[in-house]
Amino acid sequence: MGGAAGQSGFASQIQEVGPRDGFQIIERFIPTEIKLETIDLLVKAGLSKIQITSFVSPKAVPQMSDAAEVTRVCLERYPDSLLFALVPNLRGARGAVEAGLREVAVVLSLSESHNKANVGKSVAESVEETKRIRETFPDLRIAQDIATAFGCPFEGKMELPPLMELIHQLSDIGIGEFTLCDTVGTAHPTQVKTVFETVGAAFPGAVFNVHIHDTRNMGMLNTYIAMKHGAKGLQSSAGGLGGCPFAPGASGNTATEDLVYMLREEGFDTGVDFGRLLDAARFLKRHVQGNYSGHHIMIEEQE
């Protein structure tokens, strides 16, 4: 399965987030059966960790109104897969736990402006929300998503000291895993290298993942740089589908099939079947109208 370290030396893990981050920006409701078939194709491709939905207010993100149903079916079908959901607050975490999940990604932003736009709270209030989730569900595995870790659509480039302070606060309440997100795709390789080297040295017991949007065609390179400098989870979306509805200018995600292809050509065995993964991306392109950044499916359209 994807993520196991093997003879190739691939010690990271491909984490597919398309069923959440790819779908959330689509205005027209995607039928639940299409979502489930997409996840089925991703599991068959060998992706062992998949973010299947988010437990958010259906008024804020109507696309995720079937989160409980998607979760119920997926847990029944794929008991051996690592399935998780994104949540913004205690209410969302409770919904995820009640649906049967044992792992969530709790989201907050490094930028005050984006945090207020995204979850309606100050950063300090979101930290307190994570603390409540930790205290209420002590057995729940939590990864803290830090959005706008590299740049914000409202505040511009983000600096390292506030990021370090935020990780320190979250570490103090028992969070040991973090996903650093380039929400609008403004990061560059030197910045990514510096950030991952710095956080890795300062928090040697923590796990750091990376989530890069491909707005400026930097997703593949920045993800690779992050991997080379300690990122354990590499988040991507089949077809490159995605974007943040609360971040102006954020286009698609790094395409999972492009990432797997690059890693394969570099000699890494990700455990993912590239052909089947490409089938999943093709399925999405046929059934969901959205913003795709994946180069393999673009090439096929041009041929």
Q: Which residues have a catalytic role annotated? A: 244
The bridge status of strand 156-157 relative to strand 151-152 is: antiparallel
Cα–Cα distance measured from residue 77 to residue 37, given in angstroms and rounded to the nearest whole number: 11
- The structure tokens listed for 203 are 């928090």
Cα–Cα distance measured from residue 265 to residue 142, given in angstroms and rounded to the nearest whole number: 33
Which residues does residue 85 pair with via DSSP β-bridges, in sequence order?
Answer: 53, 104
Cα–Cα distance measured from residue 8 to residue 10, given in angstroms and rounded to the nearest whole number: 6
Cα–Cα distance measured from residue 31 to residue 96, given in angstroms and rounded to the nearest whole number: 20
**Dihedral angle of Cα 210, 213, 217, 223, to the nearest 10 degrees:** 10
Cα–Cα distance measured from residue 157 to residue 171, given in angstroms and rounded to the nearest whole number: 24
- The structure tokens listed for 66 are 């079937």
